[in-house]
Amino acid sequence: MPKTLDAVALDQTVEITNISGSPFASKLTEMGLTKGQYIKAIFKAPFGDPIAFECNGNILSIRKEEASFIEIKVL
């Protein structure tokens, strides 16, 4: 099982390797979440969900469930 974005530790920069199964794949692309993009979790909401990621200079709030569609590799 490849690692997905919902399980990354804070402050760890990872690279997006694949987006699979999300009904919003094109929306993710539009928001800059594409293959090869570096992304870093910078803070979490209480209860650990949603998670705020820094991606290409902006901050995105992503629910864990939505993040689980995004496969990553740790750099």
Partner 1 sequence: MKIALVGNPNTGKSSVFNMLTGLRQQVGNFPGVTVDLRQGTLSLDHTQHTLLDLPGTYSIFPRSSEENVVREVLCNPTHPSHPDLVLFVADAAQIERNLLFFSQVYDLGIPVVLLLNMWDRALAKGLELDLQKITELFPGITIIQTNARVKLGKNRILERLASELSKPTQSFVGKEALSSEDATIQQQDANLRLEKIRAAQLVTNKKQEKISFSTKLDRLLTHPIWGYGIFALILMIIFQMIFTFASFPMDFIDAQFVHLSSWISEVLPEGQLSKLISQGLIPGIGGVLVFVPQIAILFFFIALLEETGYLSRVVFIMDKLMRPFGLNGKSVVPLLSSVACAIPGVMSARTISDPKERLITILVAPFMSCSARIPVYTLLISLVIPKTYLFGFINLQGLVLFGLYTLGIVFALLTAILLNLLLSKKQSGFHIMELPEYKAPRMANVGITVLEKAKLFITDAGKIIVAISILLWALASYGPNSREQQLQQLQNTAQYQNATAAAQEELYAATALSGSYMGQIGKAIEPAISPLGYDWKIGISLLTSFAAREVFVGSLATIYAVGDSASNLRLLDRMKQETKPNGEKVFTLATGLSLLVFYVFAMQCMATLAVVKRETKTWKWPLIQLAYMGFVAYLSAFAIFNLLS
> Which residues bind to partner 1, rule: CB under 8 A?
23-32, 34, 42-47, 49-50, 52, 54, 56-63, 66
| Beta strands 51-55 and 70-74, pairing class | unpaired
Strand ranges, E, within 3-69: 13-19, 38-44, 51-55, 58-62
Closest approach of partner 1 to the CB of residue 58, in Å: 6
Closest approach of partner 1 to the CB of residue 48, in Å: 8
Tokens of 71: 């496969």
Closest approach of partner 1 to the CB of residue 22, in Å: 9
